[in-house]
Amino acid sequence: GAVVSQHPSRVICKSGTSVKIECRSLDFQATTMFWYRQFPKQSLMLMATSNEGSKATYEQGVEKDKFLINHASLTLSTLTVTSAHPEDSSFYICSVTQGNSEAFFGQGTRLTVV
Amino acid sequence: GQQLNQSPQSMFIQEGEDVSMNCTSSSIFNTWLWYKQDPGEGPVLLIALYKAGELTSNGRLTAQFGITRKDSFLNISASIPSDVGIYFCAGPSNSGGSNYKLTFGKGTLLTVNP
């Protein structure tokens, strides 16, 4: 399956600052990538679909100005959490889809906002 | 939207025992995926199912696509300590006409006592 690399794996930032998370598809050209958020002991919740060369598609209830997504190339999508607050602390995971709906995930990024 | 009901929520077993978990849905899925997530990591694809009635094995893991397309189960035989983790079922959502957005079950937390 596709190999997906996410960076950083952990980040701590101060309230009010912005944090950028990178998701790279290392062996597969991905026109679409997906960003998920996961709270402790909960399932993955889709935040947005990242589309190469066009605007991301956000799920209902996800603030697009808060979570900026850029998909500038077929191998890189970035998620920027702007003006971060403690409630934004979470585990963020990206994925690419290959073949018949099979999703392959990055290692995840643990964001802690203090 | 589509929802997946996964059970049990958690399981505590002894090493060597067999494990079974399942997912059900009120609507039809054309694909069933089973993932395992270790703490602090992204989910890893275990088994993908594409045809109703399909039974697929991956080592000690066996999964079946229910004949009604509304359910699937995952069995783990002769469990070992490294089987510990959270297991998720997932299927592509039909919302928005995209087959690639995944809906996840709430997960089954498996603990294996040596």
CB contact under 8 A, B50 and A49: no
Q: Which residue of A has its CA nearest to B106?
A: A43
Q: How far is A102 from chain B (nearest CA, A)?
A: 7
Structure confidence by residue, pLDDT tens digits, A61-88: 999 999 999 998 999 999 999 999 999 9
- The reported pLDDT for the residue numbered B1 is 60
Chain A residues with CB under 8 Å of B35 CB are: 105
- The reported pLDDT for the residue numbered A41 is 86
Q: Phi/psi at A85 (nearest 5 deg)?
A: -125, 160
Q: Split chain B (114 residues) into runs of 10 and give each run's mean pLDDT.
A: 88 97 93 94 95 95 96 97 96 60 93 94
* B2, B51, B104, B110, best to mutate vs chain A, most A CBs in 10 Å: B104
The answer to whether B92 faces chain A, any CB pair under 8 Å, is yes
Structure confidence by residue, pLDDT tens digits, A33-63: 999 999 998 999 999 999 888 899 999 999 9
Distances (CA, A) of B24 to A96, B65, B92, B102, B110: 25, 11, 14, 15, 19
- The shortest CB-CB distance from A108 to any of B40, B48, B98 is to B40
Burial A74-108 (b: 16+ CB within 10 A, else e): ebbbbbebeebeeebbbbbbbbbbbeebbbbbbbb
The answer to whether A75 touches A8, Cβ cutoff 8 Å, is no
Strand pairing report for B61-65 and B55-58: antiparallel
Does the bond joining B8 to the residue before it have cis omega, within 30 degrees of 0? yes
State the CB neighbour count (10 A cutoff) for residue A49.
22
- The shortest CB-CB distance from A105 to any of B43, B50, B107 is to B43
